[in-house]
Chain A
Amino acid sequence: MDRVHDLQSVFRKVLLSMSRPGVISSITDEAAKVNLSSPCYSGTLLVALMLLDTEVSFCAVSSRAAELAHLLGSLTYAKSKPCHDADYIFVLADASGEARDAALTAAKIGLLTHPHRAATVIMEAQQIVDGEGLVLRGPGIQSEHKVAIQAAGEWVGIRAEQNREYPLGVDLIFLDAAARLICIPRTTTIEECR
């Protein structure tokens, strides 16, 4: 893996998905080059390497949280902090619905004078399917975008609660095992189709 060029490529794709919520980006090619074994998806590891360094903190939510924390700490020198304090929260596939909900509820939402000091929550999902499911609207989306995200817990409701006072709120990145990702910034409104 080329830390300079592959991480630049990962960044551009995350940026694309963050500025166009619902658009699925694929970092499969970059993920294929990852040779480390880790408790998280390769895609998640790449996003972590792209984001983390000594200046920021993170929190891992998983039965293998300690292992992930050690790995990320030694690769990036980022500091491990509890969920309510962390700049980046990594919720792994094995985390239970309760654990995921607790992490999302604890995540910091920023201050009115500093709304950017909010957490970004990176959640591993079972599956991400384009074209059906949740209806997304808002900045970055021309009219609306449909996407189904299979992940445990009540993240849609908790996110709505956390984000009720814009500009405060959390921003989400979802990844699946095939290193496909989508982003849902706090500006996106989500409507659940029953």
Chain B
Amino acid sequence: MAYVAVKGGAQAIEASIRRLKFERLKRGRVLGVPEALAGLRSLIDQVMSEGSLYCEALAALAIKQAEGSPEEAVFVLRAYRSTLPRKYYSKTIEPQAMEVERRISASFKDIPGGQILGSSPDYTHRMLDLTLLDESDVSVGLWLREFTALPAATAGNEAASLRALPKVAQYLREQQLLPHYLPDDTPPADVTKQSVQFPTTRSQRLQMLTRGQTGAVTALAYAALRGYGGQHPTVGELRVGQVPVYVDDPLQAEAADGEAYYLGQVKVTEVEALVVKSAGKNAQKKSLTFALGYGLCLGQNETKAIAMSVLDQCLEAGDPQYPTHNEEFVLMHIDSVEATGFISHLKLPHYVTFQSKLDSIRRTSDRLAEAAKECAP
């Protein structure tokens, strides 16, 4: 009779997976993807941004599969992203041409085009709303009909003007308060295709920040503001809206704009934050100027975009006394999939390495015990 391995591992895994499914279904109700799409807009935006994949339907499905865990949903979405062939890069997107839904500035009271509050929880009172328990498809339908019947709030301004709002930063450039840089058309690196090497380029840093776990990016930016970064930025402009995406014909060199293929629109959040910097290498000729910290996220992710703009400036400054200015420290630890993966890997068997730790500890205590015996009178 031959000895064979008992297939315990596989059975245990199958039972665990069934158990997980039970936890998701035990209340007997299905969370439909349409319901998730309708009601979980903010989580969908977060998952798309951290997942680095723009597709609301897939993000909603991932959230359903993950039972609402952003960590799990982002994991699933990124793993799916890995299977997609990557053949094209879009043409450069101009956020200035954004179809703005929300646009504010903390630097100036009044800006050309105005402060457009748009949709944001910022102006609500965060009081738990029990009336939401009574919402029904009927009540929602009624409310929507009333809302769409309202006259447009933008008196005089046409919808078209929301597509061409000037940037606050442009005003500062015209006033010579923000340095004017010549356009740099160096193709950006793609951190998902080539692993990052240090020192990084700014485009690599921005990519890693935008893909970062919202909480991690927020925490580090918070630390930067609280003294661990020496940064005191002001939000020059925050925009949320839709931007169009175009792709060139891959077999033709740089085609004219009119010949590019239009793929659709994506919603993004863009933040341009202003910090005061001293300029000029000569100690005597030092002057003060503004520098721009940049944040851009897929979806409406305002906290992350602002945090990103703070950290962008920290990493540009690179002051060695601040941990938030250390690019390896910041960039290597903010990715959701990497961070949660490594932390959770501690659950894997470490019997062999633990055994040798036991061995080392025992040897030391044996040696100390022996030494004690020798010293004993």
Contacts and interface: CB of A to CB of B under 8 A. Distances in A.
Indicate if A touches B (C-beta under 8 A). yes
Interface of A: 54-55, 74, 77, 114
Interface in B153-197: 193-194, 197
A174 to B, nearest CB: 29
A43 to B, nearest CB: 26
A77 B194 contact: no
Contacts of A74: 251
Contacts of B250: 77
Contacts of A55: 193-194
A59 B67 CA distance: 51
B87 interface: yes
A71 to B, nearest CB: 13
B193 A77 contact: no
Interface of B: 87, 193-194, 197, 250-251
A52 to B, nearest CB: 14
A77 B85 CA distance: 13
Contacts of B193: 55
B193 to A, nearest CB: 6
A77 B87 CA distance: 9
A114 B194 CA distance: 14
| A-B interface, 7 closest residue pairs, ranked by CB to CB distance from nearest | A55-B193, A77-B250, A74-B251, A54-B87, A55-B194, A77-B87, A114-B197
Nearest to A113: B197
A55 B85 CA distance: 13
A55 B195 CA distance: 12
Contacts of A114: 197
Nearest to B85: A53
Contacts of B87: 54, 77
A94 B193 CA distance: 35
Contacts of A77: 87, 250
Contacts of A54: 87
B186 to A, nearest CB: 15
A55 B251 CA distance: 15
7 contacts: A54-B87, A55-B193, A55-B194, A74-B251, A77-B87, A77-B250, A114-B197
Nearest to B89: A54
Nearest to B190: A55
B31 to A, nearest CB: 36
